[in-house]
Amino acid sequence: MASQIPMVDYLVLDGDSAHLEANECTACGALFFDRRNACAACGKREFRRKRLSNDGLVRTFTIVQRAAPGVPAPFAGAVIDLDGGGKVKANIVGVDPTPENIKLGMPVTLTTFVAGTDDNGIEAVAFGYRPV
Amino acid sequence: MASDDIWIIGVSMTKFMRYKDKDLIDLASEAALAALDDAGVTIQDMDILASGNLAEAGGGVGQRIQKQIGQTGIPVYNVANACATGATAFRVVHTAIKAGEASIGLAIGSEQMGKAGMLGAAGRARSDKKEFEPSGRYGGVMGTEGILGTNMMPGTFAQTGMEYAYEHDGVGFEQFAKVAEKNHAHSVLNPLAQYQKAFALDEIMGGEMIAYPNTLLMCCPTGDGAAAAVVVSGERLASMPAEVRKRAIKVSASVLTSDPYVDGCQVQFDVNTLTRRAADQAYAQSGVDPKDLDLVELHDCFATAELCHYDNLRLCEPGGAGEWIDKKGPWRDGEIPVNVSGGLLSKGHPLGATGIANIFEVSTHLRGEAGDRQVEGAKVGLTHVIGLGSACAVHILEKAAS
């Protein structure tokens, strides 16, 4: 099996239990996916890693039919409200991207897929959410 | 005319369209000279100049305009603030006058986009990278567009609308489409609009889907154009001729906000909280109640966005934006006419020009000079622009009492 790396560093592959991790402000609990200088909510500067739930609800979505150059369409982009806190942007996968198949408030769970392979055969693994 | 009030005495915009034979400086100069002529003053009278432009933000556009219309040595501020760029330039002049550093100034917004296609942060090209190596603030190894959702403008603002639909009843594809039906209908009366064509609701809903629920006719076009305004202190205005004072427009509120932290705002831009804050500050500053407004020009970059701003700007009952468009509240003969210019959807959206073009539109109605599209008896109006990232400007304008 080819070796794999996550497409973004807030996706932790961890064998069969892939999940997301965020930087959580130790003072106010605000969650961020990027490298931090300080907290945008309270200004404090200490963070800890927090494992986020793989389950959540579709907070909003769009179905992109005319995509940016080089990006395959259609696809369903969404923002997911994760159980226990955190919001994340990802695609809805596992169903045809149509308004009939995707509903606001629909329960979804995290799944992973290979998004690309480099010249050394390394696979980049991405995540999406499928209806449950 | 209290001496601490601030006034617009000259205002103009070019027609928005795609210009083949004029460059950015032609358009900006044309708007600037028209605003100066409208005010009956010259570039030699100006104490300050602010120039808003996005695509050439590092290009000294303000000074290049001076090279065409008058190099008088005054301070020039080149401003960029996403789609709130023009309104921010206006505010730079407004703030300088309020601070007493200037008594009269010129604000210009300009943009030349041509047929730019969709805008947005598409990220790195997906096929260029031969060896995956994590980089950037998210440790990414490839572009995320289309894999981890979308950051292009049509989809981003589609999600803004769908989030409103999630939280409120009576909002769906049809309500969003009705916004575009209204703005395209309004545009027929505006000769300065890039497109002046009405469309039936089923033509809008049945058109090419760009990013559900935004179809092609629910997305603003790219284009070229410029707008300008001459702003003065009340004290300076008092010494000006009666015909200038009679047509002067009072700036009753001028507010700029950025997006405050809310949960999830770094995942999906929040265009609501900063708009609500700007609106509330503007109503407090002016003493104007939303119900007093005779017209509003708001930032309908996409139809989905306009619907949310009915609620954000307190034009409809809280949560009632869907119902409000259903009962035609924002139509030109409705409760509060919104985007009688045709809005960004039809008038066009040359990014740096938009914030001053909105001020031109409302001022022209308040002066009773809007021709076929005139909102009869308009005395108070509001302008709103939002730049993603985010910046929001709200201005409340009033007709001179005399």
- At residue B31, the pLDDT reads 98
**pLDDT tens digits for range B167-202:** 999 999 999 999 999 999 999 999 999 999 999 999
Q: What is the DSSP string of B153-179?
A: HHHHHHHHHHHHHHHSSS-SHHHHHHH
What does the pLDDT read at residue B115?
80
ipTM of the complex: 0.95
pLDDT > 90: what percent of chain B? 94
Query: Residue B124: which pLDDT band, with cuts at 50, 70 and 90?
Result: low
Instruction: Tell me the pLDDT band of B128, cut-offs 50, 70 and 90.
Output: low
Tell me how close the Cα of B329 comes to any Cα of chain A, in angstroms.
26
C-alpha distances in Å from residue A100, one per residue of A76, A96, A106: 12, 9, 12
Alpha-carbon distance of B219 to B304, in angstroms, equals 9
Contact B337, B296 (CB under 8 A): yes
Mean pLDDT, residues B222-226 taken together: 96
Cis status of the peptide bond prior to A74, with omega within 30 of 0: yes
Q: Do B138 and A88 touch (CB under 8 A)?
A: no
Sheet bearing B48-52, strands edge to edge: B76-79, B48-52, B104-112, B224-233, B6-13, B249-258, B391-399, B380-387, B295-297
Kindly determine whether residue A118 and residue B130, on different chains, have CB atoms separated by under 8 Å. Answer: yes
- The nearest alpha carbon in chain A to B138 belongs to A34
pLDDT values of chain A reduced to their tens digit, one per residue, 132 residues: 569 999 999 999 988 899 999 999 999 999 999 999 999 999 999 999 999 999 999 999 999 999 999 999 999 999 999 999 999 999 999 999 999 999 999 999 999 999 999 999 999 999 999 999
Which residue among A30, A34, A70 places its CB closest to the CB of B127? A70
Residue B114 has a pLDDT of 83
Packed helices B303-312 and B173-187: angle between N→C axes, nearest 10 degrees:
100
For residue A18, what are the domain limits?
4-131
**pLDDT for residue B2 is more than 90:** no
| Number of structural domains chain A divides into | 1
Domains of chain B: 6-116+223-249 (3.40.47.10), 153-220+252-399 (3.40.47.10)
In whole angstroms, give the CA distance from residue B234 to residue B152.
Answer: 44
- Chain A nearest-CA residue for B162: A60
Q: What is the pLDDT of residue B401?
A: 72
What confidence category does residue B126 fall into, taking pLDDT thresholds of 50, 70 and 90?
low
pLDDT at residue B130 tops 80: no
How does residue B328 score in pLDDT terms, banded at 50, 70 and 90? very high
B128 CB within 8 Å of a chain A CB: no
pLDDT band per the 50, 70, 90 thresholds, residue B156? very high
How high does pLDDT run on average in chain A? 96
Name the residue facing B141 among A5, A68, A91 (closest C-beta).
A5
Interface test with B, best of A12, A36, A89, A120 (most B CBs within 10 A): A89
pLDDT of B120: 77
The beta-carbon neighbor of A104 closest among B154, B162, B261 is: B162
Reported as a single tens digit per residue, the pLDDT across B360-402 is 999 999 999 999 999 999 999 999 999 999 999 999 999 987 5
Marked catalytic residue, from B349, B365, B384, B395: B349
Nearest chain B residue to A128 by CA: give it.
B148
Whole-angstrom distance, CA of residue B402 vs CA of residue B397: 15
Give the pLDDT band of residue B323 (cuts 50, 70, 90): very high
Looking at residue B43, its pLDDT comes to 98
Residues B227-256, mean pLDDT to the nearest whole number:
97
Query: Quick one: which of B185, B382, B178, B371 has its CA closest to B297?
Result: B382
pLDDT in tens, B50-100: 999 999 999 999 999 999 999 999 999 999 999 999 999 999 999 999 999
Nearest CA distance, A132 vs chain B (angstrom) = 19
Per-residue model confidence (pLDDT) at position A15 = 83
Res. B147: pLDDT tops 80: yes
Q: Which residue of B has its CA nearest to A62?
A: B212
A87 touches chain B (CB under 8 A): yes
